[in-house]
């Protein structure tokens, strides 16, 4: 699909947090009805439902895989349904699949929901799930690899090669939590942290401290998408997908030649910007979903905002924070939003829509016209980049 064929016309979202008293289906009802009402369409006009696969929730995954959402919601015009699993990159692929359904004529409007409730899964089960999701059961798991451990090794090597300091690494958390503190849909709304808070938090896997790792959260969101032409008939504020780029970086850490994924991010960004016909200088916001805070530094270098090794200073100086010269990750990435499994990318795209329609509240970047957004899955299996805009250039 060439640039500007797909558009977001409605979004729905519940705040991240702990909803142990709320069922997953309760959240699905809320985010889907919100998205349909936000677009102002009739529910019978939703002709396809492509759901982001929830992680670590096998029964819910089965229920959704086998078609329950359109039936629960009474989407009488629905022609087909499926679920898409690429871990943290699922939402990006739901969008791409929706493009195909729309362009082929299968569906005019597609609903893309996500829900995750971590808080009712026993802690050891959550740890066990993430111990083998994106971690090889033969060559990594027997040695006690964890997500934190794997990313901590990347961080260790990054510090070694670039000379980035612990303070600079920790400043990424401060920046992300500043954004989260302005986000009513974040579990960390009005809860910023200081550099001292981060540096004094418990060491989990050297060099990463607990505040430099993710907090698991419950949450849900939904987007409604359609073709650019139809979007203009439905809403005055469509949000166009202008470009896409992607690289596969590999499943196993031991085989990843591009260990920081810098080249993958760089190449994917170049493809996405080329398709959009835009330059990085045209971007008003960078919505980096790179999961671990320190990876914000790699993303800044990959996109060419700073030279390798200089991004830590850049973040510490406040350039990526609210009011800064280069606003990055305006919901605070997984660190600021709470990690909702495969849902952080959903939250990221919803934020793109909010920023581009002027609905981002206290986080609103003035006159936001273009955004470069990232996504990745597993322990870093791919680097996906999308460009979004409120007009087609």
Partner 1 sequence: MSEYKKPLPEMQPWSRAFWEGAKRHKLLIQVCTDCDARIFYPRKICPECWSRNLSWTEASGRGKIYSYSVTLAGVEEKFADDLPFVLALVDLEEGVRMMTNIVDCPHDEVSIGMDVEVFFEDVTGDVSLPKWRPAKS
Name the one range near partner 1 by CB under 8 A: 208-216, 241-249, 264-272, 284-292. Answer: 208-216
**CB of 205: closest distance to partner 1 in angstroms?**
4
Q: What is the DSSP string of 127-191?
A: HHHHHHSSS-TTTTGGGT--HHHHHHHHHHHHHHHH---HHHHHHHHHHHHHHHTT-TTSTTTT-
Is 154 or 353 the residue whose CB approaches partner 1 more closely?
Answer: 154
Among 21, 143, 236, 323, binds partner 1 (CB under 8 A): 143
SS3 214: coil
Is 155 or 347 the residue whose CB approaches partner 1 more closely?
Answer: 155
How far apart CA 130 and CA 85 sit, in angstroms, is: 15
Is 128 or 325 the residue whose CB approaches partner 1 more closely?
Answer: 128
Strand-pairing partners, residue 10, are: 224
Among 148, 330, 355, 382, binds partner 1 (CB under 8 A): 148
How far apart CA 38 and CA 289 sit, in angstroms, is: 24
Q: Which of 11, 64, 3, 56 is nearest to 38 (CA)?
A: 11
Is 4 or 338 the residue whose CB approaches partner 1 more closely?
Answer: 338
240, 356 Cβ separation under 8 angstroms: no
**In the window 104-133, what residues touch partner 1 (CB under 8 A)?**
124, 127-128, 131
**In the window 231-290, what residues touch partner 1 (CB under 8 A)?**
252-255
Is 80 or 263 the residue whose CB approaches partner 1 more closely?
Answer: 263
Token readout for 81 is 């349904």
**Which value, to the nearest 10 degrees, does the dihedral of the CA atoms of residues 4, 351, 223, 225 take?**
-10
Among 46, 208, 303, 334, binds partner 1 (CB under 8 A): 208
**CB of 136: closest distance to partner 1 in angstroms?**
8
Is 45 or 140 the residue whose CB approaches partner 1 more closely?
Answer: 140
Among 66, 104, 202, 366, binds partner 1 (CB under 8 A): 202
Q: Is 206 in the site for partner 1 (CB under 8 A)?
A: yes
168, 316 Cβ separation under 8 angstroms: yes
265, 300 Cβ separation under 8 angstroms: no
DSSP-derived pairing of the beta strands 370-375 and 285-287: parallel
Name the one range near partner 1 by CB under 8 A: 134-142, 188-196, 318-326, 364-372. Answer: 134-142
Give the residues lining the site for partner 1 (CB under 8 A).
Answer: 124, 127-128, 131, 136-146, 148-150, 152-157, 160, 202-208, 210, 213, 252-255
């Amino acid at each position: 699909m060439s640039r500007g064929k797909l558009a977001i016309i409605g979004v729905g979202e519940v705040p991240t947090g702990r909803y142990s008293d709320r069922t997953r289906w309760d959240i699905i009802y809320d985010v889907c009805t919100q998205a349909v009402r936000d677009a102002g369409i009739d529910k019978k006009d939703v002709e396809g439902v492509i759901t982001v696969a929830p992680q670590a929730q096998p029964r819910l995954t089965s229920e959704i895989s086998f078609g329950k959402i359109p039936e629960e919601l009474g989407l009488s015009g629905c022609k087909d349904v499926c679920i898409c699993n690429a871990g943290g990159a699922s939402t990006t692929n739901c969008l791409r699949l929706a493009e195909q359904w729309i362009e082929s004529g299968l569906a005019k409007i597609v609903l893309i929901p996500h829900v995750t409730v971590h808080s009712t899964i026993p802690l050891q089960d959550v740890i066990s799930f993430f111990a083998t999701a994106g971690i090889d059961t033969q060559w990594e798991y027997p040695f006690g690899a964890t997500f934190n451990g794997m990313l901590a090794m990347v961080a260790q090597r990054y510090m070694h090669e670039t000379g980035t300091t612990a303070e600079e690494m920790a400043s990424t958390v401060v920046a992300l939590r500043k954004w989260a503190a302005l986000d009513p849909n974040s579990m960390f709304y009005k809860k910023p942290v200081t550099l001292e808070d981060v540096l004094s938090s418990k060491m989990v896997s050297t060099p990463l401290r607990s505040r430099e790792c993710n907090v698991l959260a419950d949450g849900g969101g939904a987007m409604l998408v359609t073709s650019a032409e139809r979007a203009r008939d439905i809403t005055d504020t469509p949000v166009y997908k202008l470009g896409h780029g992607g690289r596969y970086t590999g499943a196993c850490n031991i085989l990843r030649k591009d260990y920081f994924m810098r080249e993958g991010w760089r190449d994917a960004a170049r493809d996405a910007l080329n398709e959009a016909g835009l330059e990085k200088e045209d971007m008003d916001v960078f919505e980096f979903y790179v999961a671990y805070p320190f990876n914000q530094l790699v993303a800044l270098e990959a996109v060419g905002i700073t030279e390798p090794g200089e991004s830590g200073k850049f973040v510490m100086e406040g350039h990526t924070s609210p009011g800064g010269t280069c606003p990055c990750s305006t919901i605070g990435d997984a660190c600021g939003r709470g990690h909702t499994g495969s849902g952080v990318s959903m939250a990221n795209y919803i934020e793109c829509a909010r920023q581009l329609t002027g609905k981002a509240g206290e986080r609103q970047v003035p006159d936001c016209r273009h955004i470069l957004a990232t996504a990745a899955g597993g322990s870093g299996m791919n680097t996906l980049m999308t460009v979004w805009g409120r007009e087609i250039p």
